[in-house]
Amino acid sequence: MTLEEINPLTEAHRLNYRLRSTFFYRKLKEYKTLSFRARIDALLPVKHLYSWESWVNWGIGEEAFTYINEHPSLQLIQVFCHPRLIREHSSLIAYYRNIAALSQKAVKYLVAVDVKNIETDEENKYSLAEDKALVLSRLCNEHISLIIDSAIENLTEEEIYGILLASTGTQIDGSWRNAIGEEAEKVVQRLLIKEAKERNIIAAFIPRKGMVIEVYNPDRIEEKLGNIESYRGLMLSNHTSILFSSEPDISLLNNEGTTVGVIEVKGGTDPAGALERYGAAKKSFEEAFRKNPEVKSILIASCITTEVNIRIHNDPIISAYFNLTEVLSKDLEKYEQFVQEVFSILEK
């Protein structure tokens, strides 16, 4: 199927669902949802150090408290939010919030506390104030108590983690609507890393934070791909580099540090915005040409209208154009053309 034969709206739906799938997986890893069980289990040996005498003041219902307290396999800290515990381990707010089936937005609306930064504080640098810990505990426990009451004393550990995953999925779905462009960039970044791996030319990963270069270990490649937002790019064995940034989305550097190639990724799926996305890419390319007239520019985009398609093919500033949907659909010919175009620039 040629570009002219593709209905922009049909292509938009195809790309939208492809990127949505990868976005869900990446966010599940980013939120570290699957690690919550192990983190709570790690606290079980000290569960006796948490007093529950004030459970009424923490928003826990009487029947719910009695049921969990007498449960043969569930522990109180597995289910209810203890204010001291979340002051000690603030990122675990995400665990109790999701069990309560509350979104971050809902928490902010109901108790005026923004938990987004608190939940991502893996190093426990955030100091959660006493009053905030109390209102957050009450909110989570009130909703968790309602869930237990509705279960009619039949709640299981599996169901608790089922709610946790379902709630996380709802949050991911909510954030997806504003992240199509970002996910398109991440997909192309992973694609280039995998291709560099296949060509056996990865030397090291460049972290976004700190100066410690991570020497390439093939046994940890999936870990790197799952946490791609933590890396600024990669160094190749032929003394060149691929950098991930913005404007351009991807820069190709030769062994002297000169930008010899730039890539713009436009994953927007709204046909009405196709011209605007083309204009943004062109602006980025023009800036790269201003610095180096010999630079090669690659546009990889989707949902391109007929008018924009004509402009692209008549635009001397764009060295090569690839349809994102075709590349991601495992069209071997289109995929090979794209990666060959990229890596040929780095081989010169």
Output the CA torsion sign for 20, 233, 205, 252.
Answer: positive
87 touches 107 (CB < 8 A): no
pLDDT tens per residue, range 310-326? 898 889 999 999 988 88
Model pTM greater than 0.85?
no
pLDDT at 251: 95
Cα separation values, 266 from 171, 215, 262, Å: 24, 31, 13
pLDDT at 8: 52
Give the span between the Cα atoms of 300 and 249, in whole angstroms: 11
Give the span between the Cα atoms of 335 and 348, in whole angstroms: 21
pLDDT tens per residue, range 103-123? 888 999 899 999 988 887 777
pLDDT at 11: 59
pLDDT tens per residue, range 269-303? 677 778 888 888 999 999 999 999 999 999 998 77
Cite the DSSP H helix spans in 32-179.
Answer: 36-41, 62-69, 76-79, 83-88, 93-99, 104-111, 116-119, 130-150, 157-176
For residue 248, cis peptide bond before it (omega within 30 degrees of 0): yes
Residue 146: count of CB within 10 angstroms of its CB: 14
pLDDT at 153: 63
**Tokens describing residue 83:** 């204010």
Strand partners, 205: 214, 234
Phi, psi of 22 (to 5 degrees): -70, -35
pLDDT at 1: 42
pLDDT at 9: 54
Question: Residue 224 carries which DSSP code?
Answer: H
**In the chain, which stretches have pLDDT less than 50?**
1-5
Judged by DSSP in three states, 296 sits in strand
Residue 66: count of CB within 10 angstroms of its CB: 13
In 3D space, the residue among 248, 249, 230, 250 whose CA is nearest the CA of residue 240 turns out to be: 250
pLDDT at 4: 44
Question: Residue 215 carries which DSSP code?
Answer: E
pLDDT at 247: 79
Give the span between the Cα atoms of 190 and 37, in whole angstroms: 28
SS3 content of the chain, % helix, strand, coil (to 5): 60, 10, 30
Phi, psi of 244 (to 5 degrees): -105, 125
In 3D space, the residue among 255, 250, 232, 214 whose CA is nearest the CA of residue 347 turns out to be: 255
Residue appearing with tokens 């940890």: 220
